[in-house]
Amino acid sequence: MACVAFRRDLAPRNELAAANKADRPTFLRRLLAAVIESRQRKANRELAKYIARSGGKLTDEIEREMMQQLTRTDWRNIG
C-alpha cells in the first residue's frame, strides 16, 4: 500500500521548532526557578528547626519571631 501526503497536510519545520521551543522554558528561567526552590527549601528547614527548638508548638509569638528572622537583612554582610 502506498500513501501520498499533500503539502497542505504537513507543518513546516520552522513551525514545529517554534512550537517545541515555546513549550520549554529558557535556561535562565530554569536557573531562577531552581534558585527560588532551593531558597524556599532552606527557609522551610530553618523554620522547622526553630519550631522544634521552641517546643514544637506554633504560637503567635513564635510566628512573629520567625517572620522577623525571615525578613531581617544584615546590611553589613552584603557583598
Q: How many residues does the chain have?
A: 79
pLDDT for 79 equals: 41
pLDDT for 32 equals: 96
Cα–Cα distance between 30 and 17 in angstroms, integer? Answer: 20
* Identity at 40, one-letter amino acid code: Q
Q: Tell the residue number behind the cell numbers 510566628, with chain if given.
A: 63
What are the pLDDT tens digits along the chain (79 aa)?
Answer: 567 777 766 767 666 666 666 678 899 999 999 999 999 998 888 888 888 888 888 889 888 888 887 787 665 554 4
Q: Which pTM value belongs to this model?
A: 0.54
**CB-based contacts of 70: which residues, under 8 Å, 6+ apart?**
43, 47
Cα separations in angstroms, 6 against 1, 2, 3, 10 = 17, 13, 10, 7
